[in-house]
Structure 1
Amino acid sequence: MRMATTEHVILIVDDTPANLEVLFSFLTDCGFKILIAEDGESALQKAEYALPELILLDIVMPGIDGFETCRRLKAQAATRDIPVIFMTALSETVDKVRGLQVGAVDYITKPLQHEEVLARVQTHLRLRNLNKQLQAQNLQLEQEIKQRQQQEEALRQSEERFRLAIEGVKDYAIFMLDAEGCIVSWNTGAERIKGYQAAEIIGRHFSCFYPEADWQSGKPQQLLQIAAQEGQVKDEGWRVRKDGSRFWADVAIAALRDEKGLRGFSKVTRDITERKRAEEELQRQYQRSQLFAEVTLKIRQSLQIGEVLQTAVTEVQKILHADRVLIYRFWSDGTGSSVAEAVLPGWVAILGQKFPEEVFPEDYRQLYLQGRICRIPDIEKEENISPCLVEFVRQFSVKAKLVVPIIIKQELWGLLIAHQCANSRYWTNFETELLRQLADQIGIALTQAQLLEQETRFSQQLARSNAELQQFASIASHDLQEPLRKIQAFGNRLQDKYRDVLNEQGRDYIQRMQNAAHRMQTLIDDLLIFSRLTTRAQPLVSVVLAEVITEVLSDLEVLIQQTGGRVDVSELPTISADPLQMRQLFQNLIGNALKFRRANEPPCVKISSQIIEQPQLIADSGGAELCQIAVEDNGIGFDAKYLDRIFQVFQRLHNRSEYEGTGMGLAICRKIVERHRGTLTAESQPGQGARFIITLPVNQLSLDK
C-alpha cells in the first residue's frame, strides 16, 4: 500500500541484508524513496551526498557502530538536522540514554514491526517538516525585525502581510502574545482548533488554554521565561478548548525582540491528538505483544495437554488479575466441564464441574464457532443471557465474565473464561484482544499435544509391529524352514533312488517340486534378511566402500564370467556404515545389473561417486556431508512410471520364466539405505539401461533417532 503523499528520501543503515531487504520492500511500498548502506562509513558518505530526510540506523555494525555514526552525522553542518532513529535489539536504559545523547530522536526495538516503523517514520517526518516551517517563520520574523530597524513603514507593511497570511492558515493556531503573555492576534486556525472567536480571546492571558493543574503550577509563565532566555521553547501536552474539551498539542513559542528589547511572543499550536492516540495504541500493542510472547512461550513449553491447559489458566489469571480463569471443554453430547482452573483463595472451585447443555445451548455454540467474544461487565444487568446460565454462574458468585472460543481445525473445542467474583468489571479492548490471541495459541498448543499423542500411539503400534515382525522372523527361521528342508531332502532321495523307475512325467514332477522348494527357500531367506535389517543390524564403523565392492565382485566372479560382463569402479569414499548391509546393498544392485541384461550384449556396470554440498537434500542427515553413489548399467531398463513399484516387496516387472528372483532385492536395498538416513532412487528408460542413485551421509555417529 502506498501511503506517502510525497516521495520522502529515507536512508536505511544495517549490516544485515535480510533486514535491509524487508525494510526496503515495505517502505518502498509505502511510497518512500529508499537509500541503503551496510556500514557506518558508507552511511556518512551517502548522507552527506544525498541529504535524506530521515535515517534509520542500526546500532551494532562492523567498523564504526551506530552511536559513532550518529555522533559524526550530528557533527557535520550538512547532516546535523537530519532525524536519526535507532533500530536495535538493545533494550537497556543506558543504551537508550546514550543514543539520545549522541543526537537520535527515537528508538525502534527489534524485531521490527511494520506498523510501528511506519508510524514512527511518518511522525518524525511530520515533526521535521513542522520544525522547518517554524524555523522559516522565525527567520521571516527576524528579517522583519531587521527591516523595522531600517524603516518603520516597511516593517508595518511586512507585518500586515504576515498577519493576513497567518489568518488564512487553518491547520495551525498561530497567534501573537505581548511581553506579559496576553493575546494580541488570532488566526483562522486558532479559531478552529481552540473554539474562540478573535473578539472573545484577544486581550486575555494565554494561560486560559492550559488545564487547571498546569496554570496553578505556573507552567505557562515558565514557558515564556524559557522562550525569552533561549529565543524559543517547544512543548507537548494537554490544552483546553473553549467548550472544556481537551486536545494534545504540539506548541512552539518564539520570543520577538526589537531595539527596545522583548516585544512579545509568537505562538504556534497544532492539534496532534490523533498522533498521540496512535502512539499510545502502538505502546499498548507493544505491551500486548510482549505479554503475548511471554505467555505463549510458557504455554508451548509443554506438549502434555494437562500441562498446557493448566499453564494457560495460571498465566491468564496473573495477567488479568481475575478472581477465576478456567477452560471449559465441550463434549459430544452438548454438555461440558471445566478441565483446567486457576482460582483465588476464597472463591469456589469449578474444576471438574459438569455444565448441563442448557448453559451453552446450540445457538450459543454456533456463535462461538463463528468467533464471537462475550464480554459481560455485570451479570445482573445483562439482558441477552439465558436464565439457566445466570442461575448456574450465581452458584459460583460470578459478577462479570469474559469468554473467548478455542477453535481447533474449524471445530469448537472449548472456551477460555475469565470470572470476576468480587465486583462487576469492564473488560477493556486490550484485555479482550490479548485473551483472543492467547485462545488461538492454546488451540495451536493443543493441536501439537494431540499430534504428539498420536505420534506416541503410532510409535507404540510400530514397536508392536516390529515385535511381531521379529516373532515372524523367529517362526520363519525354524517352523517354516523345517518342513521345507524335509521336502527338499525327500525330493533328493526320490531323485536319487527312483530316477530310473519313474517315467519322464514323474521326473518332471519331482523337478518342479524341487524348484518350487528352492524358490520358497530363497523367498524365506530374503524375508529374513528384510526383517533383520533393523532388528539385528550391526553398529556403525568406518567402511571403505572400495573394499566392499572388491569383496562383492569376488562373490560374483562366476556370474561375471558367465555373462561376459565388465564392472568399472571409480574412486569411492570411506563412510560410516554397517559393513554387512553395505555389502548386501551393492551385491543386490550389481547382481541385478548383471541379471537384467539385454540379449546378445554383455553387461557393463559403472560405479561412480561424488561428494555433494547440499545436506538439505536429506532432512535427517543432521547437516552432515553427503556422498552420492551411482550404479549404472546397459541392461533392459524399465519404464519410469514403475519407479515406486520396483522398491516394494514382492513386486516384479518381469515373469519368473524370463528372470528369476523373489521381488525382494530392491526393497532390501531401499530399507538398507533408509536405515542409514539416506535415499535410493533410479533413472531409466526401456531398453536404455538403468541408473540407481544412492545418497548417504559420509559421517554419522549412530542410527539411533
Structure 2
Amino acid sequence: MNITDPEQDPPLVLIVDDEKFTRLQLRLAMEQVGYRIVETSDGEQALFAYTQMQPDIVLLDALMPKMDGFTCSRQLKMLPGGDRTPILMITALEDQESVDRAFAAGATDYITKPIHWAVLRQRVYRLLQASRATEKLRQQTERARVSEERLRLALDAAHMGTWDWDLLNHKIRYSGTAAANIGIADNGVIETYESFLESVHPEDRQALKQIIAAAIAQQTDYEVEFRVIWADGSIHWIAAKGQVYYDETGTAIRMTGIDMDITDRKHSEAELQRQTLRSQLFADITFKIRRSLHIEEILQTTVTEVQKLLQCDRVVLFQLFSSGSGKVVKEEVVPGCAAIVGRNLYDPCFQQKYLDKYIRGHIGCVADIYNSDIKHCYIDFLKQFQVVANLVVPIFIKEKLWGLLIAHQCNAPRQWSTFEVELLQQLSDQIGIALAQAQLLEDETRQRQELTRANAELQQFASVASHDLQEPLRKIQAFGNRLKATYGDVLNEQGRDYLERMQNAAQRMQVLIDDLLTLSRIATRAQPFSPVNLTQVAQEVLSDLEILIQQTNGHVMLGELPTIDADAIQMRQLLQNLIGNALKFHQPDQVPIVKIYSKEFEDWQSQNSEEWLDTKLCEIIIEDNGIGFEEKYLDRIFNVFQRLHNRSEYEGTGMGLAICRKIAERHGGSITATSKPMAGAKFIVKLPIKHNRGD
C-alpha cells in the first residue's frame, strides 16, 4: 500500500537507532509505503544528517549510547526548522516518567516496543499529514502577509484605495478600491460619517469611534483593523490608516488615508489559530488517553475528556458485536440527560449496509434528527434516549472495527463543526492505538502468568524426580548390590545375567533422571549473569575429562576464548557436554582430535538485539574428527531423547545436546552444527558478549 502523495516528493524519513536490525526493519516498513530513508546509528550523527538533509520526520530511538534520544530530540528542536519537524520517539519504556520525559524533550508522539508495523505506518502517515498541513497553512499565512505588505506599498505609492473625510461637513469621498473594500460599488461615492459607521460591524463600532476620536484629539496617526458588513450580509475585515490635518487654530478639518480588505489574512490567521488549538487539544487529550495501559481507564478517560472538549450532553463508547448489536461500555452524561451505560442496544435500522459503511470509515453527523433524511425507525430509536443531534465516529483496533465513539446533544439541535468532526476522528485513531497497546499488554501479562505457572509445574516435576523417583531407584540399586554380593555365587548364569541387566537398567535410569533434572533446572535454578572467562571454564572441563581423554588417547587443542556475560555453571555444562561428545563419538581406528576456538563479530540480524548493550556476538566452536552424522538429522539431534546410534554402541540418554540448546537459548544465543558421516563434526554456539539484564 503506497500512502504517499504522487504530486509531491516522497517524504524523507530520518531513522535514528543504534541497532542495525531495528534500522533495517524501520527502513523496510517505511520503504514499503514509498518513503525515502536516511538512517544514522547515534544522536550526534542524527544532528549532522538533519542539518544536511532536512528530513520531513524523525523516527528516534530513546535509548542509545553516546547521546540518547531525549537529548537528541531537545537539540533537534533547536536546529533551524527543527521546531516544525515531527519526532516519533520509539522506546521500550512505558512508565509515566519516561512518557513525560519524551514529550518534554520535544517528541511529537511516541510508540512502544515491540513495534506493531501497521500502527507505526499509520502513526507516521498521520504525523506527516499534520506536519504538511501546518506547514502549508504557515506558508499561506506568510504569503498573505507578504502580499499585504506589497499591497500597502502599492497603495502608498499610487494612492489607490484612498479616502478623504471632510471633518467639518462629515462627508467622506472614496476611491474605487476604498469604496469596494467597505462594500460600496460605485466609484467616487460621497458618504456621510454616520453611513460609514452603519456599515461597521456592531461589535466593532464603539471601539472604532473611540480610536478615531483619540487620533483627532491627540494629533496621532489613525491605524485600525475592523469588520464591515456588506449589503449581501457578508462580513469583511478592513485595515485602515489615516492622518488628521488641522487649521491654524488647531481645529481638525480633514482626515485622509487608505484602506484595504484583509479578510483573507484574517481567515488564515483564524484557521492557523484553530489548527494550533486543535493540535494542542489533540495532544492534551491523546496524552491523557494513552498515559494508561489499562483498557478500563482508557475508555473512561476518553468519554470524560471528549465530553469536556465538545461540551455536549452525552458521550458514549459503544462496543459493537458481530450481530450488529452492541453495548454501551462507558458514558459521560450531564444531569437531566438519561444515563444508558451498561445497556445492550439493538438499532433496528442498523443493518449490514450501515455496518459496512462504518467498516469503511463512515462518520455519522446529524444536526437535527427531526429535520434530516434519516429513517423513521432510527428517529424512534434515538428518541428513547432524548437524542436530538449526534456525531458518530468509528474506532478501529488493528484495522478491525471495534465500536463507535458517539456524542449526543439532547436538549436542542446542534451544528457540528468541521473542527469537531476532524478532531473526533483523530481521537478515535488514538483510542484504537491505545486499546491495541493495552490489549498487547494484557496478552503479554497473561503469557507471563502462563509461563510462571509452567515454570512452577516444571519445578514441581523436578522436585518429584528428585525425591519420589530417586528414592525407589536407590532401593533397587541397593538391594541389587546386596543380592549380587550375598547370592551371586548361588545364582546360575541366567540369574546372574538377569541381575546384571537389572543393575544396568537402574544405572541408566539414574543417569536419565539426573539429565532431566539438569534440563529442568536450566531455568528454575539459573544464576544471574556475570562476566565468565570461557577459557578458564574450558580448562576446568578438560581437567574433569582427564580420564576420558586418557582412555580414548584423545588430543584436545584449546584456543583463546572470550569473557562473556553468562551463568558460569551453565557454561560449564555446555562445554562439558560438547567436548565429552567430541571425545565419545570418535572413530575406532583414529585418535580423537578436538579443537576448541572462538570468533567475534557483529550480527545485526539477531532477533534479540534489543536485549543487548551492543550487537557484538561470539561463536564458540568445538570441532572433532569423529564419526559425524547426516545433516538431515540436524534438527533431530537437539531434541530430548533423540539418538542417532544404539545404546550398545555409545552410552547416553539422548539429552546432552537438548541441554546445550536450552542453555544457549537462555543466554539469548543459538547452537547448530555441520557434519558429514565419518568426516567429523563442528558444533557452533553463538552467544552475545554483553547483556543489559541480570538473568
* TM bin (shorter chain): 0.5 to 0.7
Question: What TM-score comes out, normalization by structure 2 length?
Answer: 0.67
Residue 543 of structure 2, aligned match among 544, 554, 564: 554
Contact 1:368 1:405 in 2 (8 A): yes
Contact 1:340 1:351 in 2 (8 A): yes
Matches of residues 570-609 of structure 1 in structure 2 within 5 Å?
570=560, 572-573=562-563, 575=565, 577-595=566-584, 600=590, 602-608=592-598
Contact 1:335 1:355 in 2 (8 A): yes
Q: For residues 175 and 624 of structure 1, what CA distance do their matches in structure 2 show?
A: 70
Q: Is structure 2 residue 418 aligned with structure 1 residue 439?
A: no
Alpha-carbon distance change, 134 to 390 in structure 1, aligned in 2, over 3 angstroms: closer
The one-letter amino acid paired with 1:299 is: I
Contact 1:348 1:396 in 2 (8 A): yes
Residue 321 of structure 1, aligned match among 311, 317, 320: 311
Q: Is structure 2 residue 140 aligned with structure 1 residue 116?
A: no
Alpha-carbon distance change, 507 to 239 in structure 1, aligned in 2, over 3 angstroms: farther
Q: Is structure 2 residue 413 aligned with structure 1 residue 424?
A: yes
Find the counterpart in structure 2 of residue 302 from structure 1.
292
Contact 2:318 2:406 in 1 (8 A): yes
Q: For residues 248 and 384 of structure 1, what CA distance do their matches in structure 2 show?
A: 39
Contact 2:204 2:226 in 1 (8 A): no
Residue 351 of structure 1: how far off its partner (Å): 2.2
- Residue deviations 1:320-362, cap 9 Å, x none? 2222222223345554332222223344322222324537444
Q: For residues 451 and 544 of structure 1, what CA distance do their matches in structure 2 show?
A: 39
The one-letter amino acid paired with 1:293 is: A
Q: Aligned to 1:426, what secondary structure does the other structure show?
A: coil
Sequence identity, in percent? 43
- Residue deviations 1:538-581, cap 9 Å, x none? 45566444432222111112333424222323154274x43322
Residue 463 of structure 2, aligned match among 465, 474, 496: 474
The one-letter amino acid paired with 1:690 is: K
Contact 1:567 1:605 in 2 (8 A): yes
Find the counterpart in structure 2 of residue 175 from structure 1.
161
Aligned residues: 577
Q: Aligned to 1:337, what secondary structure does the other structure show?
A: strand
Residue 201 of structure 1, aligned match among 145, 167, 189: 189
The one-letter amino acid paired with 1:454 is: D
Q: Aligned to 1:358, what secondary structure does the other structure show?
A: coil
Find the counterpart in structure 2 of residue 649 from structure 1.
640
The one-letter amino acid paired with 1:475 is: V
- Residue deviations 1:412-450, cap 9 Å, x none? 433222232333322222222222333333333333333
Matches of residues 455-604 of structure 1 in structure 2 within 5 Å?
455-481=444-470, 497=488, 502=493, 518-538=507-527, 543-561=532-550, 562-570=552-560, 572-573=562-563, 575=565, 577-595=566-584, 600=590, 602-604=592-594
Alpha-carbon distance change, 628 to 234 in structure 1, aligned in 2, over 3 angstroms: farther
Contact 2:238 2:259 in 1 (8 A): no
Alpha-carbon distance change, 699 to 310 in structure 1, aligned in 2, over 3 angstroms: closer
Greater Cα radius of gyration, structure 1 or 2: 1
Residue 372 of structure 1, aligned match among 345, 351, 362: 362
- Residue deviations 1:243-271, cap 9 Å, x none? 44233456677999xxxxx9996747355
The one-letter amino acid paired with 1:298 is: K
Contact 1:305 1:449 in 2 (8 A): yes
- When the two chains are superposed, the root-mean-square deviation of aligned CA atoms in Å is 5.1
- Residue deviations 1:57-91, cap 9 Å, x none? 879xxxxxxxxxxxxxxxxxxxxxxxxxxxx969x
Alpha-carbon distance change, 410 to 500 in structure 1, aligned in 2, over 3 angstroms: same
Find the counterpart in structure 2 of residue 353 from structure 1.
343
Structure 1's unaligned 5+ residue stretches are 5-13, 27-37, 44-54, 60-87, 91-109, 142-161, 164-173, 257-261
Alpha-carbon distance change, 627 to 406 in structure 1, aligned in 2, over 3 angstroms: closer
Find the counterpart in structure 2 of residue 690 from structure 1.
682
Q: Is structure 2 residue 693 aligned with structure 1 residue 675?
A: no
Contact 2:140 2:268 in 1 (8 A): no
- Residue deviations 1:12-58, cap 9 Å, x none? xx9944654674558xxxxxxxxxxx99xxx9xxxxxxxxxxx8587
Q: For residues 623 and 245 of structure 1, what CA distance do their matches in structure 2 show?
A: 65
Between 119-128 and 641-650, report the one with greater CA deviation. Answer: 641-650
Q: Is structure 2 residue 623 aligned with structure 1 residue 633?
A: yes
The one-letter amino acid paired with 2:161 is: F
Find the counterpart in structure 2 of residue 73 from structure 1.
none
The one-letter amino acid paired with 1:119 is: L
Find the counterpart in structure 2 of residue 312 from structure 1.
302
Contact 2:641 2:653 in 1 (8 A): yes
Residue 633 of structure 1: how far off its partner (Å): 1.9
- Residue deviations 1:621-657, cap 9 Å, x none? 3637966352342546778887665544344566767
- Residue deviations 1:111-133, cap 9 Å, x none? 99332233223432553365357
Alpha-carbon distance change, 498 to 245 in structure 1, aligned in 2, over 3 angstroms: same
Residue 508 of structure 1: how far off its partner (Å): 8.7
The one-letter amino acid paired with 1:584 is: Q
Between 638-647 and 664-673, report the one with greater CA deviation. Answer: 638-647
Q: For residues 417 and 276 of structure 2, what CA distance do their matches in structure 1 show?
A: 16
Contact 2:601 2:617 in 1 (8 A): yes
Alpha-carbon distance change, 526 to 357 in structure 1, aligned in 2, over 3 angstroms: farther
Between 626-635 and 456-465, report the one with greater CA deviation. Answer: 626-635
Matches of residues 71-150 of structure 1 in structure 2 within 5 Å?
113-128=131-146, 131=149, 134-135=152-153, 141=157
Q: For residues 57 and 629 of structure 1, what CA distance do their matches in structure 2 show?
A: 44
Q: For residues 119 and 353 of structure 1, what CA distance do their matches in structure 2 show?
A: 44
Contact 2:181 2:259 in 1 (8 A): no
Find the counterpart in structure 2 of residue 269 from structure 1.
260
Contact 2:204 2:227 in 1 (8 A): no
Q: Aligned to 1:113, what secondary structure does the other structure show?
A: helix
Alpha-carbon distance change, 111 to 21 in structure 1, aligned in 2, over 3 angstroms: farther
Between 303-312 and 603-612, report the one with greater CA deviation. Answer: 603-612
Between 208-217 and 490-499, report the one with greater CA deviation. Answer: 490-499
Find the counterpart in structure 2 of residue 280 from structure 1.
270
Find the counterpart in structure 1 of residue 320 from structure 2.
330
Q: Aligned to 1:114, what secondary structure does the other structure show?
A: helix
Alpha-carbon distance change, 391 to 501 in structure 1, aligned in 2, over 3 angstroms: same
Matches of residues 131-280 of structure 1 in structure 2 within 5 Å?
131=149, 134-135=152-153, 141=157, 174-178=160-164, 180=166, 182-183=172-173, 185-186=175-176, 198-199=186-187, 201=189, 207=196, 210-211=200-201, 214=204, 217-218=208-209, 237-241=226-230, 243-248=232-237, 267=258, 269=260, 272-273=263-264, 275-280=265-270
Structure 2's unaligned 5+ residue stretches are 10-44, 58-73, 85-104, 108-127, 246-252
Contact 1:638 1:690 in 2 (8 A): no
Which structure exhibits the higher relative contact order, with contacts defined as CA atoms closer than 8 Å and separated by 6 or more residues?
2
Between 432-441 and 204-213, report the one with greater CA deviation. Answer: 204-213
Matches of residues 3-82 of structure 1 in structure 2 within 5 Å?
16-17=47-48, 20=51, 23=54
Contact 1:615 1:624 in 2 (8 A): no
Q: For residues 318 and 270 of structure 2, what CA distance do their matches in structure 1 show?
A: 34
The one-letter amino acid paired with 2:456 is: A
